[in-house]
């Protein structure tokens, strides 16, 4: 049976998952999204062309069959925009009938607040999901009873909406009904059963990739609550939400060479100095969706260890190593608070300070050198880089299968990485 893979961000999102999914999608039949909404943006650079997708799985760039699962929050406008970006699209696209529709009032009610959200309406839509009566699914959107459902929902929300300055509920309702009808006519033929499609594909021996949005530390349950998103960003959540068998999948974590974080919330290894600014600039750490600058930090083995455990990573890919080239850096190996130390990521991070281990350094390299290293394989990487990679693997007891040295799909070291980093793990055991 073909190897199915799930891709999970190991930190707080923006780890470069799009590139890795795009790389793996080359020989996949299906690529599916299982969480989040258009709060996540994926930038894919392939064959000299840059495409940014917000809700469609990145496999769409390669014309693969793509699916959007039942627990994804979909703004139909973002979906139609993405479809426009991949208009020569040849594969099938299935949006699950249970997927949640982001409605205009979700956007009105999501003001960023104290969590510093992406203002894409995800939180308010998730609140409606929890209510079980006020949520609008794709199945509702295309149903003959949509008008009735919308009326009931708006009745319940009337007070809240009036508080935002809305005067005429009737006009508001008519306008939403009109645009929703237009969306419905364009998405009707895409609406289906994503879990069943993927299950059948696996049974036929086709290869499926599940593409996570955000990162494990933003998971609604396991993340740094309350500064998290409203869906499950971890592997277990994906299988539960799509109704797929975890035993059919390899779990690959994407660990950016350094963590970043947008919005509010604790970030133990945050760099508030010149190095942080250089990483932010060299790594183009500005949100694909919101344009917000991302805070950058030192690598954090404590956070990665936690992520590896809660997702059961089989392997990890380390991305954006080129950004750390020419910069001296270190990594948090444990946390300390009032004389107490821990290697386990605490739920409440307040007061915990990172304790840093050794210093790493490797020289900058040109794109031509990066290409050469990719051709030659893992052992041709600079010694300082390998030392860092092997320490990551050892800290989280997980081998590294891919090393990314550039945004370009071609510039990724795959050859021998798994074998070599596994070697250092065997040593440790």
Catalytic center residues: 14, 42
In the complex with ligand IMP, which residue's Cβ is closer, 158 or 264? Answer: 264
Question: Cα–Cα distance between 209 and 330 in angstroms, integer?
Answer: 33
Q: Report 157-186 residues binding ligand IMP (CB under 6 A).
A: none
- Binding segment for ligand IMP among 10-18, 25-33, 63-71, 79-87 (CB under 6 A)? 10-18
Burial 126-138 (b: 16+ CB within 10 A, else e): bebbeeeebbbbb
Told to check if 58 binds ligand IMP by CB under 6 A, we report no
Least Cα distance to 69 among 217, 207, 191, 235 occurs for 191
Q: Rounded to the nearest whole angstrom, what is the least distance from the CB of residue 63 to ligand IMP in the complex?
A: 24
Size of the site for ligand IMP (CB under 6 A): 22
Q: Where are the beta strands (DSSP E) in 73-126?
A: 73-74, 93-96, 100-101
Closest-by-Cβ residue to ligand IMP is 263
Q: Rounded to the nearest whole angstrom, what is the least distance from the CB of residue 280 to ligand IMP in the complex?
A: 14
Counting Cα atoms < 13 Å in the Cβ hemisphere of 163 gives 5
Question: Cα–Cα distance between 217 and 350 in angstroms, integer?
Answer: 15
In the complex with ligand IMP, which residue's Cβ is closer, 303 or 385? Answer: 303
Told to check if 227 binds ligand IMP by CB under 6 A, we report yes
Contact residue for ligand IMP among 7, 11, 14, 70 (CB under 6 A): 14
Q: Report 246-265 residues binding ligand IMP (CB under 6 A).
A: 262-265
Contact residue for ligand IMP among 120, 207, 305, 320 (CB under 6 A): 120
In the complex with ligand IMP, which residue's Cβ is closer, 230 or 421? Answer: 230
Question: Cα–Cα distance between 88 and 300 in angstroms, integer?
Answer: 41
- Is residue 422 classed exposed, middle or buried when 0-12, 13-18 and 19+ CB atoms within 10 A define those classes? middle
Q: Enter the tokens of residue 11.
A: 């930190």
DSSP symbol at 217: G
Told to check if 349 binds ligand IMP by CB under 6 A, we report no
Contact residue for ligand IMP among 5, 75, 229, 232 (CB under 6 A): 229
- Binding segment for ligand IMP among 43-51, 79-87, 96-104, 222-230 (CB under 6 A)? 222-230
Query: Which H or E element spans position 12?
Result: none
Told to check if 218 binds ligand IMP by CB under 6 A, we report yes
Q: Where are the alpha helices (DSSP H) in 93-249?
A: 104-109, 122-131, 138-141, 146-163, 169-187, 194-203, 235-242
In the complex with ligand IMP, which residue's Cβ is closer, 6 or 262? Answer: 262
Write each residue from 32 to 51 as x if it is in contact with ligand IMP (CB under 6 A), else as -, in one continuous string.
-------xx-----------
Least Cα distance to 242 among 21, 22, 32 occurs for 32
Question: Cα–Cα distance between 215 and 7 in angstroms, integer?
Answer: 10
Cis peptide before 188 (omega within 30 of 0): no
Q: Rounded to the nearest whole angstrom, what is the least distance from the CB of residue 6 to ligand IMP in the complex?
A: 17
DSSP symbol at 337: E
Q: Rounded to the nearest whole angstrom, what is the least distance from the CB of residue 17 to ligand IMP in the complex?
A: 9
Contact residue for ligand IMP among 4, 51, 75, 117 (CB under 6 A): 117
Question: Cα–Cα distance between 345 and 315 in angstroms, integer?
Answer: 20
Told to check if 266 binds ligand IMP by CB under 6 A, we report no
Interface residues toward ligand IMP, by CB under 6 A: 12-14, 39-40, 115-118, 120, 122-123, 213-214, 218, 227, 229-230, 262-265
């Amino acid at each position: 049976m073909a190897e199915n893979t799930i891709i999970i961000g190991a930190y707080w999102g923006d780890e470069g998952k799009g590139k890795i999914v795009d790389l793996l999608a080359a020989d996949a039949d299906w690529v599916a999204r299982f969480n989040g909404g258009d709060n996540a943006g994926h930038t894919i650079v392939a064959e000299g062309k840059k495409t940014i997708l917000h809700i469609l799985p990145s496999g769409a760039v390669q014309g693969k069959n793509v699916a959007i699962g039942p627990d994804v929050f979909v703004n139909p406008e973002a979906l139609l925009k993405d479809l426009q970006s991949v208009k020569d699209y040849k594969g099938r696209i299935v949006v699950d009938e249970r997927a949640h529709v982001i409605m205009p009032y979700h956007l009105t009610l999501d003001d960023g607040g104290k969590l510093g959200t992406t203002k894409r309406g995800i939180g308010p839509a998730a609140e409606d999901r929890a209510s079980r009566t006020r949520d609008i699914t794709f199945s509702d959107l295309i149903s003959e009873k949509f008008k009735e459902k919308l009326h009931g929902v708006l009745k319940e929300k009337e007070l809240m909406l009036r508080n935002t300055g809305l005067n005429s509920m009737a006009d508001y309702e008519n306008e939403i009904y009109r645009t929703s009808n237009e969306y419905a006519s364009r998405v009707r033929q895409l609406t289906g059963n994503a879990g069943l499609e993927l299950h059948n594909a696996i049974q036929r021996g086709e290869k499926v990739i599940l593409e996570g949005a955000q990162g494990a530390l933003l998971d609604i349950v396991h993340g740094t609550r309350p500064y998290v998103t409203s869906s499950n960003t971890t592997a277990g959540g994906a299988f539960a939400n799509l109704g797929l068998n975890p035993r059919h999948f390899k779990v690959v974590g994407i660990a950016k060479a350094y963590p970043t974080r947008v919005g509010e919330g604790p970030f133990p290894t945050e760099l508030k100095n010149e190095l942080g600014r250089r990483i932010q600039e060299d790594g183009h750490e500005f949100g694909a969706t919101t344009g917000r600058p991302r805070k950058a930090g030192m690598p954090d083995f404590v956070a990665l260890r936690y992520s590896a455990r809660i997702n059961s990573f089989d392997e990890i890919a380390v991305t954006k190593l080129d950004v750390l080239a020419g910069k001296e850096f270190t990594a948090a190996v444990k946390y300390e608070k009032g004389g107490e130390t821990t290697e386990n990521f605490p739920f409440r991070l307040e007061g915990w300070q990172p304790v840093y281990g050794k210093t790493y350094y490797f020289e900058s390299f040109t794109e031509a050198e990066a290409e050469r290293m990719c051709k030659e394989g893992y052992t041709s990487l600079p010694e300082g880089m390998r030392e860092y990679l092997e320490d990551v693997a050892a800290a989280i007891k997980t081998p590294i299968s891919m090393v990314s040295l550039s945004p370009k799909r071609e510039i990724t070291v795959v050859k021998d990485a798994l074998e070599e980093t596994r070697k250092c793990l065997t040593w440790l055991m």
